[in-house]
């Protein structure tokens, strides 16, 4: 695998999705700011404080769901094509039918028939989103938005601003743009890796996965004071079922962007704005044969 070409291609794909979803996410965050501006203009400061304090749900959750579906399936299909390419490179006589997912690979036909898994991949990606991210996104994004808006209102109260100056300060906030940029970069990357994992889960043969970082000086770990080090993880190859472990902070991740789960904490500093990708390849034995999965269930 040419790692430079792989990460470059992924960055190109991800950038297109970031451009597509940025305006939608920004508009959803701006709707909260605009709602507050309307309260400040036409009601009382007490009402404005109450409006902000009652913010709970991230208004762009449905957009994030669309993002995950589109990006995740794009990468699930991409990974499946890569499995096809790898299998076609193996002599037909060495391909053994999987006892777990029989019919995906035929003994005398080096071709994987897998795009019927689209619905399975979509469900896996949706479950991943709801299991790990909706609550995280709602709390982190809304919490940050609430904090920024409350700071403006408190300053308005402390310094005795009038309505016009308070509205001007709210309208001048870069909040929606900065929040949206962070969200789309983080979640596009997570969705891409989720798609890779979903596709790999349905492939009936043993696999290994590799952590591939971007090739620039913004990769975590370039600065010795960075909380995480994806530069050290770069090039790490492990079994598909295992976790990548960041030796700098101890975080255990299934793939770049993995936010963790109950009982397995992954620090936000390890995932926010992460551009790294997981690359998955099928294993072969000493005779060059694919190794069927055993005692494992389809997703």
- pLDDT for position 115: 61
Q: How far is CA 69 from the centre of its chain?
A: 11
Q: What is the pLDDT of residue 136?
A: 74
- pLDDT tens, position by position, for the chain (299 residues)? 689 999 999 999 999 999 999 999 999 999 999 999 999 999 999 999 999 999 988 889 899 999 999 999 999 999 999 998 888 888 764 555 544 444 344 333 334 555 678 999 999 999 988 877 666 777 788 899 999 999 999 999 999 999 999 999 999 999 999 999 999 999 999 999 999 999 999 999 999 999 999 989 999 999 999 999 999 999 999 999 999 999 999 999 999 999 988 889 899 999 999 999 999 999 999 988 899 998 554 44
Task: Give residue 92's pLDDT.
Answer: 61
pLDDT attached to residue 113: 58
Looking at residue 112, its pLDDT comes to 54
How far, rounded to the nearest angstrom, does the alpha carbon of residue 162 sit from its chain's CA centroid?
42
**How would you classify the pairing of strands 264-265 and 260-261?**
antiparallel
Q: What is the pTM of this model?
A: 0.90
What is the Cα–Cα distance from 191 to 78, expressed in whole angstroms? 13
């Amino acid at each position: 695998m040419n790692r430079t070409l792989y990460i470059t291609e992924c960055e190109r794909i991800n950038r297109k999705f970031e451009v597509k979803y940025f305006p939608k996410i920004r508009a959803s965050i701006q709707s909260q700011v605009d709602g507050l501006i309307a309260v400040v203009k036409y009601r009382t400061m007490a009402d404005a404080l109450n409006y902000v304090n009652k913010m709970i749900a991230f208004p762009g959750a449905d957009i994030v769901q669309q993002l995950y579906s589109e990006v995740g399936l794009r990468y699930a299909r991409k990974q499946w094509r890569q499995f096809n390419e790898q299998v076609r490179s193996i002599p037909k006589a060495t391909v053994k039918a999987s006892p777990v997912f029989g019919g995906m690979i035929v003994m005398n036909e080096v071709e994987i028939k897998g795009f019927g898994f689209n619905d399975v991949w979509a469900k896996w990606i949706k479950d991943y989103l709801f299991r790990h991210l909706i609550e995280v996104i709602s709390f982190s994004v809304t919490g940050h938005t609430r904090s920024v808006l409350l700071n403006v209102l408190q300053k308005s109260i402390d310094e005795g601003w009038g309505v016009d100056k308070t509205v001007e300060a709210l309208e001048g906030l870069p909040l929606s743009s900065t929040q949206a940029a962070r969200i789309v970069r983080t979640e596009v990357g997570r969705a891409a890796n989720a798609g890779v994992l979903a596709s790999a889960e349905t492939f009936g043969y043993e696999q290994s996965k590799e952590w591939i970082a971007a090739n620039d000086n913004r990769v975590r770990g370039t600065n010795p004071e960075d909380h995480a080090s994806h530069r050290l993880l770069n090039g790490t190859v492990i079994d598909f079922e295992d976790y990548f472990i960041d030796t700098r902070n101890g975080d255990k991740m299934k793939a770049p962007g993995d936010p963790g789960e109950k009982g397995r904490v992954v620090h936000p500093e390890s995932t926010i704005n992460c551009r790294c990708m997981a690359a998955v390849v099928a294993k072969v034995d000493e005779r060059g044969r694919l190794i069927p999965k055993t005692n494992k269930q389809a997703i």
